[in-house]
Structure 1
């Protein structure tokens, strides 16, 4: 595809007020429950000035992001969950990504190569749980920077807003040894594997032993674990997500975990 230089980038941003989860809007009275935090959803797009294409079709390299904006104190707490490479704001993420493509495009043009493949990076950080001082964020990042295919990852973050901390699994589960067989049972159910079936070459578990995903989320339905592509399966097999109902975990939880689960599962 021929390289075309376009003289301007486009930036568009918008904010939408939301609360609880992103499928829940404000009530008619505008009142927000005391155990939830208010936030807005920001949307951002920017493009590289270097376009690929022909007179009939033009392709552009794009960065886009959708993410929640909270009050400053909470923004500071969750910032690393939204800007996962340590950036301070969305413009930095965009500038870094587009600068990488622009350098590639200029090298191709200087080398006389008219074929430039467009890149993309889309980031969608979503509020999954926002109740009783517990905030769960799911950050889905989908990008392509050349090669046979792009890459999609999903990162989960759980925060205790009262203690102002990112929750670790050890904050919730006291007995990891007891959790493991429960998790494996639900994993096997999800994968339609018999209890005695070997994982074999289809899975990347070391020495054929089941291991928990580092990625976990507190949801209304239960404790969620998520494996990204290449973690336990090939890219073609895609990601794997399974959920353990909280009732199954009652004997493995810390005192804090029991309190959190009690609040999450309370009838609103």
Structure 2
């Protein structure tokens, strides 16, 4: 549906679209400084289509894309976050956008390319709302929360939220395997399943087959996590383990359950 040539054309005429972007002005609500000297502020851009599709009673559909993202003092980190945001958007083109601006323009161009076609989907303005926020900022832990909500025809919008965990000194990803002792993941999964069944009001032996989407009908932790003040929090997005109507599912494993499993000198290690 979207081809590189069309994308380049759409980018060349982007000035003809309505685009708004912050200019670096900050206040106490949208700027901060990490303890590891990673200063940041939030910036944003919006791209609107001038193409509309007339629907009944004088209404018209159009499209817009809004992207909000942090700008750090570390340019390498900025490039890493921008790439992850583009990858998470799930663009199916063979030529993926390389910048936030290209990502927004590509989405709007998608609306323009199918405008008025019978298979466009149910009426409704197309939109993309993509936001990356600094969730946790500590000397040894940087967690970003990335949310993507979009509608491009169909029964309902699609949404997903993921956590990105980094060591702010090295910019290396903090994985679950790097926090849990070798061989400890099965035990962690067993602990999580007990919590999950309690939250879902399921007995220890109740089948997961009919109401959940776990592979082979067996509970498993995903790798979408953040470390909170209470413990290790996992998030399952809509459609991941339940029907869309049930929304997202959170699962918190408290620190008290992690004492025997945490690697020494990591973010999950018990404090003295």
Question: Shorter-chain TM-score: which interval?
Answer: 0.7 to 0.9
Equivalent-residue separation in structure 2 for 1:246 and 1:42 (angstroms): 35
1:67 is paired with a residue whose SS is strand
Segments of structure 2 that go 5 or more residues without pairing to the other structure are: 1-14, 89-95
Is 1:181 aligned to 2:183, yes or no? no
Residues 104 and 193 of structure 1: CA distance in aligned 2, closer, same or farther (over 3 Å) = same
TM-score, structure 2 normalization? 0.78
Is 1:70 aligned to 2:54, yes or no? no
Cα-to-partner distance string for 1:31-57 (whole Å, 9 max, x where unaligned): x56335221111211111112346744
**1:213–1:227 Cα contact (<8 Å) kept:** yes
| 2:158 equivalent in structure 1 | 151
Further displaced range: 45-54 or 61-70 = 45-54
- The equivalent position to 1:160 in structure 2, one of 167, 181, 194, is 167
1:125 is paired with a residue whose SS is strand
Further displaced range: 182-191 or 132-141 = 182-191
TM-score, structure 1 normalization? 0.79
Equivalent-residue separation in structure 1 for 2:71 and 2:230 (angstroms): 25
Equivalent-residue separation in structure 2 for 1:137 and 1:100 (angstroms): 28
Residues 210 and 261 of structure 1: CA distance in aligned 2, closer, same or farther (over 3 Å) = same
Equivalent-residue separation in structure 2 for 1:226 and 1:135 (angstroms): 18
Equivalent-residue separation in structure 2 for 1:211 and 1:116 (angstroms): 38
* Alignment RMSD (CA, Å): 2.9
Cα-to-partner distance string for 1:215-266 (whole Å, 9 max, x where unaligned): 12223332111111221111122211122122311211223xx432359x89
**2:43–2:69 Cα contact (<8 Å) kept:** yes
| 1:3 equivalent in structure 2 | none
Residues 118 and 77 of structure 1: CA distance in aligned 2, closer, same or farther (over 3 Å) = closer
Cα-to-partner distance string for 1:87-136 (whole Å, 9 max, x where unaligned): 4321011121111111111x63xx8x9x9753111111111111123111
Q: How many residues align?
A: 244
Residues 147 and 158 of structure 1: CA distance in aligned 2, closer, same or farther (over 3 Å) = same
Is 1:132 aligned to 2:133, yes or no? no
1:188 is paired with a residue whose SS is helix
Is 1:82 aligned to 2:85, yes or no? yes
- The equivalent position to 2:148 in structure 1, one of 122, 126, 141, is 141
Which structure exhibits the higher relative contact order, with contacts defined as CA atoms closer than 8 Å and separated by 6 or more residues? 1
Please identify runs of 4+ aligned residues in structure 1 that moved more than 6 A. none
Question: Any residues of structure 2 matched to 1:239-254 within 5 Å, and which?
Answer: 239-254=248-263
Deviation at 1:202, TM superposition (A): 0.4
Segments of structure 1 that go 5 or more residues without pairing to the other structure are: 1-6, 27-31
